[in-house]
A and B are shown apart, each in its own frame.
Chain A
């Protein structure tokens, strides 16, 4: 069981907007910066969002993220077929470990 809670699945039609939630606690999301990773099928994870809401160079602005209290969320607008992947949130926990969410599999209908 993961320290961070994500829905196991999400879906949306092309062009739609979807959000993926990540719920934690005051020892992790509540006090440290959240990162999001995208893992396309059969590939290594890729950094998608860092420091709560910043995009690395090359990540489309269709991807955005936010945080409130001990919860964070990732939003994908203008959904495309290539967005079909697993998405993970991650944050440093004050138990002195990085912790990941269990992952959300996004299906583009």
Chain B
């Protein structure tokens, strides 16, 4: 069945960068996109952006615009999210989720990865 498997947790120092991977299986990767969402401890969900699994087109949320880069590797059906200049406010569990290939706005987040905990601490 379709699933997304994410990389393991990380601990980062303030000012550093993080990179989370999200490997897809069980479906045709280029036919869908990948959303990225985060959840700070005890808090709600926050959308970070979207990338097309077909052509790598991206749409980033304003809250991380300028600090985030999302990429794909179609050969391994893997999506990546890099977030730079980390602060303690970036401490959260980061999720990838499946979306539409053509646009950021058109599809519900129908399959989710297990989440990757990133802690930013000095």
Interface residues of A (CB under 8 A from B): 2, 32, 35, 37, 44-47, 50-51, 56, 88, 90, 92, 95-103
Contacts and interface: CB of A to CB of B under 8 A. Distances in A.
Given A44-B114, A98-B35, A37 B95 contact: no
Interface of B: 35, 37, 44-47, 59, 61-62, 95, 97, 104-106, 108-115
A45 B112 contact: yes
Chain B interface SS verdict (over half)? loop
Chain A interface SS verdict (over half)? strand
A88 B45 CA distance: 8
B101 to A, nearest CB: 16
Contacts of A95: 62
28 contacts: A32-B105, A44-B114, A45-B97, A45-B109, A45-B112, A47-B110, A47-B111, A50-B110, A51-B108, A88-B44, A88-B45, A90-B45, A90-B108, A90-B109, A92-B106, A96-B59, A96-B105, A97-B47, A97-B61, A97-B62, A98-B35, A98-B104, A98-B105, A100-B44, A100-B46, A100-B47, A101-B44, A103-B44
